[in-house]
A and B are shown apart, each in its own frame.
Chain A
């Protein structure tokens, strides 16, 4: 089955700086890669996603890049703000199959 590795487990950045979280996946058939943000005790919320026929997608301060050959994808957050502090999860799947998640990155925005 699919296996997703996520790094780093904790990331601390100064407010206003950029943050990058990286994930690798094992199954070359995976074609959908979402990123979720989860605040303490809450449900995961989708922040951005990308399909395998696209190399990059951007939504305001958030962008995701995908390298199918290397089987890795990354989340980029620019101009970080205090409200960006949360746990971020990457995931991979084939169409409507269940998601395989990474173990998460705890992002800390230092004032």
Chain B
């Protein structure tokens, strides 16, 4: 887990503003993921990427965008189109070897819209 970092830990945004959450990993993992967690709820998949320069929408992609220009980095942009962005955002990565698909999570970013 120590090989996945997210920044910032806390983020405050005004309505109508876009904001970008950082996720970096030094584990040499091929796959990276973004999840959203609301209070008292499970995690929901926003986007994922199995290889550089390629990514797929998850269950709740509307109002979010991502890029995967480097293997180590998978930033998430929360756009003004996201109607209810206040949540805990978790990034994860995995090796995707076929034998083990364990996803390791970063420490998370707590986003609050003011």
Residues of A near any B CB (own CB < 8 A): 1, 6, 32, 34, 42-46, 49, 89, 91, 93, 95-104
Say yes or no: B43 contacts A43, CB within 8 Å.
no
Nearest opposing residue in chain A for B33, CB measure: A98
Once bound together, how far apart are the Cα atoms of A14 and B111, in whole Å?
36
Q: Is the CB of A96 within 8 A of B102?
A: no
B74 touches A (CB below 8 Å): no
In whole angstroms, how far apart are the Cα atoms of A15 and B99 in the complex? 35
Main secondary structure of the interface of B (DSSP, over half): loop
What's the least CB distance linking B93 to chain A, in Å?
Answer: 11
Q: Which residue of B lies closest to A90 (CB)?
A: B42
Residues of chain A contacted by B30 (CB below 8 angstroms)? 96
Q: Which chain B residue shows the least CB distance to A6?
A: B42
Number of B interface residues, CB 8 Å? Answer: 27
Shortest Cβ distance from B83 into chain A, in angstroms? 21
**Residue pair B41, A104 in contact (C-beta under 8 Å):** yes
A44 to B91, CA, bound (A): 11
User: For A89, what are the chain B residues with a Cβ–Cβ distance below 8 Å?
Assistant: 42-43
Cβ B103 vs Cβ A34 within 8 A: yes
Task: Tell whether, in the assembled complex, residue A99 and residue B45 are in contact, meaning their CB atoms are under 8 Å apart.
Answer: yes
**Chain B contacts to A: CB under 8 angstroms:** 1, 30-31, 33, 35, 40-45, 48, 50, 58-59, 90, 94, 96, 98, 101-108
Please name the residue on chain A nearest to B96 by beta carbon.
Answer: A96
Q: Which residues of B are found within 8 Å of A93, using beta-carbon distances?
A: 101
Cβ-neighbour of B42 out of A32, A49, A101 (below 8 A): A101
- Of the A-B pairs whose beta carbons lie under 8 Å apart in the complex, a sample of 23, sorted by A's number, is A6-B42, A43-B106, A44-B43, A44-B90, A44-B105, A49-B102, A89-B43, A93-B101, A96-B31, A98-B33, A98-B35, A98-B45, A98-B48, A99-B43, A99-B45, A99-B103, A100-B59, A101-B42, A101-B43, A101-B44, A103-B42, A104-B41, A104-B42
- Are B90 and A32 closer than 8 Å at their CB atoms? no
